[in-house]
Amino acid sequence: MTGIIMFLAALALLTLGYPVAFTFGAVAMFFGAIAAYIELLPHPALAAVAEEFFLMFSMMPFRIYSIMTNTILMAVPLFIFMGIVLQKSQLAERLLESMGVLFGKVRGGLAISTVLVGTLLAASTGVVGASVVAMGVISLPVMLKYGYSKKIATGTICASGTLGQIIPPSIVLIILGDVFQLPVGDLFQAALWPGLTLVACYIFYILVVAFLKPEVAPAINVDPADRKGSLKRAIFAILPPMTLIVLVLGSIFAGVATPTESASVGALGSMILAAMYRKLSWKIVMDSSLETVKITAMVFAILIGATAFSMVFVYTGADSIVEQFMTNLPGEKWGFLVLSMVAIMLLGFFIDFIEISYIVVPILLPIADTIGINPMWFAILIAMNLQSSFLTPPFGFSLFYLKGVSPPEVHTTDIYKGVLPFICIQVLVLASLVIFPGLYGFK
C-alpha cells in the first residue's frame, strides 16, 4: 500500500498549494526511501537500503535525457510561443470588436461572437490564460453594458477560453500523444469533431437561454452604416488567423509536415501576423520568448517530477493493485470507462491537466490496453475530460483568470454559477462520445 499512500500524500500536498514539480519529486524521494527500507525487512542495513534506493532511481538520468530529446514534445514551446505572440499582437481584440457588431442584432449575439472568437483563438493560439484574459477585458464590460446577465457573460467567456484544450493545436493533445505513444497529427484530427460539437452545443445553449429569457442576453441595435464597415473589418480580422490555422493544421492533416514542423511554421507565421498588424517589435519577441521559456520549464519540470513519482509507484507494486481493482469492476469495459472518467474529472477539481496526464493516465493506459479499448478514442475522452478541469471550482484556472480582470461588481460566485451550465454541456458531450463513438468517427 506504500504507493497508494504516496499518491494520496501527493494530492494532499498539491491541495495545500505546494509547487507541483517539487512535490512529485520530493514525495518520490521520501517514499522511495521507505519502499527500499521495507524491501529489505526484517534486518535492513543502512548501506543496503541506500544501495536499493539508488538502484531504484538508476534509470532516472536516461529517462530525463529521453524527455529532453523527444521530438514530439519539441512542439510544446513552439505552439506556446505562437500563442503568446498572437496574444500580444491584439488578435483577440480585433476579432471581438468586429464580430460583436456582426452578431449584435441576434439575441445572445455578443455571447455567440465570444464563443466563435474563442474557437478561432483556440485553433490559432491554444493559450487558455491569454484567451480568457483578452475576452474578459474586452467582451465582459460590453456584455454587462448591454444588460447581459453576469452569469451568462462570465460562463461564456470561461467556457470559450478553454476550447484551446480540445481544439487543435492543443498542448493537452501533444502531451497525451507522448503518453499514449500515438501520432499527434492523428490525435488532432480525432479531436476536431468533438471540439466543434462542443462549440455548437455552447451556441445552441446561448440561443435557447436568450429565447426563453430575452432579458439575460438581449439583442443590441446596430447602425446599418456601421454594420457595413464592420463587415470589412471582420473579414480583415478573420482572414489572417484563418490562413495561419490552415497552414498549421492543414499541413499536419495532409501529411505534409509533422506537428513539430508545423509548430515552427506557426511560430514564424505568428510573427508575420504581428508584423501585418504593425505590432512586431524586438520587445514583443523577447517578452514572448521569456514567457515561453517559463511555461516550458514548468511543463518539463513537472514531467521530470512525475517520472520519478511513477518509477516509485511502479516499484512499490501499486500499479498492480490499481489494475486488479479496475479490471474486476462490474461491466468490465464500461465500468472501467465510467470510473476512470469520474476519477479524472474529480481530480481535475484539485490538480492541473499536466499532472493528471503524467501521473494518472500512465496508470490507466495498461488497463485500457488489457481490456481492448481503442487508444485513440480513450485519449480523446481524456482530453475532453481534462478540459473541464479549467472550469471546475474551486481551482479552475479559467475562473481565476477571469476574476483577475473582472469589474468589481462581478463576484466569484457569479463566475462559479455562470460556468455550471457549460460544465454540464461538457459532461453531456463527453457522455455522447462514450456512448456513441461512431458519431465522431471512432470504432
pLDDT tens readout for residues 301-348: 877 887 888 788 877 777 677 777 777 777 778 888 888 888 888 877
- DSSP assignment of 242-309 equals HHHHHHHHHHHHTTSS-HHHHHHHHHHHHHHHHHHTT---HHHHHHHHHHHHHHHHHHHHHHHHHHHH
Residue 201 banded pLDDT, cuts 50, 70, 90: very high
When divided into structural domains, the chain yields a total of 1
For the cut 90, the answer to whether the pLDDT of residue 205 exceeds it is: yes
> DSSP code of 106?
S
Q: Tell whether 17 is covered by a domain.
A: no
The range of the structural domain enclosing residue 79 comes to: 75-166+184-295
Tens of pLDDT, residues 216-235: 888 776 666 555 666 677 77
Over residues 110-138, mean pLDDT: 76
The DSSP 8-state label assigned to residue 170 in this structure reads -
Of 66-75, 192-201, 279-288, the range with the highest mean pLDDT is 192-201
* Residue 89 within a domain: yes
Residue 146's CB is within 10 A of a number of other CB atoms, namely 17
State phi, psi for 34 to the nearest 5 degrees: -65, -45
380 in any annotated domain = no
Residue 204 lies in a domain: yes
At residue 225, the pLDDT reads: 58
- 420 within domain boundaries: no
| Residue 41, C-beta contacts closer than 8 angstroms, at least 6 positions apart | none
Residue 425: the pLDDT is 93
Nearest to 60 by CA among 318, 307, 303, 360: 307
Q: Name residue 268's amino acid.
A: L
**Location of C-alpha cell 478541469:** 389
Identify whether 145 is part of a domain: yes
In a domain, 191, yes or no: yes
> What pTM does this model have?
0.80
Question: Does residue 126 fall inside a structural domain?
Answer: yes
